[in-house]
Amino acid sequence: MSTAQTISGQCLCGAVAFTISGELRPVIYCHCEQCRRSSGHYVATTACKRDQIRFQSDQALAWYQSSPHAKRGFCRTCGSSLFWVPEHGRHWAVHAGTLARPTGLRAAMHIYTQMAGDYYDFNDGLPRYEEDNPPSVPGEVE
């Protein structure tokens, strides 16, 4: 189930602040090595179309090309991980923890579970996928 709303988000220090208007994809937990290394744990992201995001402040927004297929947006002041954007750029994955409560979002699945850290368990009953291509993602943003 996706959620249509206007919601604000920001980094830890507030140097990057934004609002998102419209539908958000349900949260996906990613356990891949890149997400774990960039955040310190697995990552929880929702997603939206690029044109749904409006920045109130983005001077500290920096980008790191983490693979040939995607880049990651972060605050260069406080280091907060904020976004993951695939090469095509049609949607942006937004770190759910950057959004103001209440979000109304719900988690849908775990991906890249074969790369999960060996120091935690996840037994929440959500579907698990060893890779990133589940059969379908409810409310997926194209």
Q: How far apart are alpha carbons 67 and 113 in whole angstroms?
A: 19
**The predicted structure's pLDDT at residue 3:** 57
Q: Please tell me the total number of residues recorded for the chain in this structure.
A: 142
Between CA 18 and CA 109 the distance in angstroms is 26
Fold of the 3-115 domain: 2.170.150
pLDDT at site 136: 54
Ranges of the chain with pLDDT below 50: 1, 142
Query: And the tokens for 19?
Result: 């609002």
Burial zone of 86 (CB within 10 Å; 0-12 exposed, 13-18 middle, 19+ buried) = middle
Domain segments of the chain as ranges: 3-115
pLDDT of residue 1: 42
pLDDT of residue 133: 67
CA separation for the pair 77, 96 (Å, rounded):
20
Spatial separation of the C-alpha atoms in residues 126 and 118, rounded to whole Å: 19
What's the whole-model pTM score? 0.89
Give me the pLDDT at residue 126, please: 96
Give yes or no for a contact between 19 and 57, defined as CB atoms under 8 angstroms apart: no
CA 138 to chain centre: 15
Tens digits of residue pLDDT in 78-114: 999 999 999 988 899 999 999 999 999 999 999 999 9
